[in-house]
Amino acid sequence: MAGSLLCLMKRQMPVLFEAEEACAGLFHKGAEEYVVLAGTLETGTQGFLIIADKLLPFVQDRTLLFAILDRLNRESLSGLHQLLEHPGGVIYLYKQIICFPQGLSQELFDQLLESGVREFRQGLRYICQQLESVLTAARRSGGSRMGTDRN
């Protein structure tokens, strides 16, 4: 199954890395570029799709950031939004587990990729809106809520 996944990915994007059960590539949608990681699990009928790209600037108030992420995940229907620590900030990603008991076709892969990118973009927009809302409220009150223990 990993071989067919690699073929499906190569039809959509340049593949940067491939291993026995997974591969990574760069997917372009309009002017945007996304890192896509996909792979199969041991059963061969399940896999994963991860869309990652954006390095968010360092936010000192991690409690706030994870509260925003928690709200986003409660509203997500098919995947999980995560943040990974990185020296310059955090990397935002969207991850979903996929089942394909009848095999993974190009059409199914394309649909999963499109929906994954759409969820990624919506999640990123939501995170940025929530952070901007907090920053705007902090400016109005004359103080900064970022980097403090207050919520």
At 103-139, the pLDDT tens digits run 778 888 899 899 999 999 999 999 889 888 887 777 7
Burial 40-60 (b: 16+ CB within 10 A, else e): beeeeeebbbbbbbbebeebe
CB 98 within 8 A of CB 112: yes
Cα→Cα distances 53→28, 84, 119, Å: 11, 11, 13
Using a cut of 0.85, tell me whether the model's pTM lies above it. Answer: no
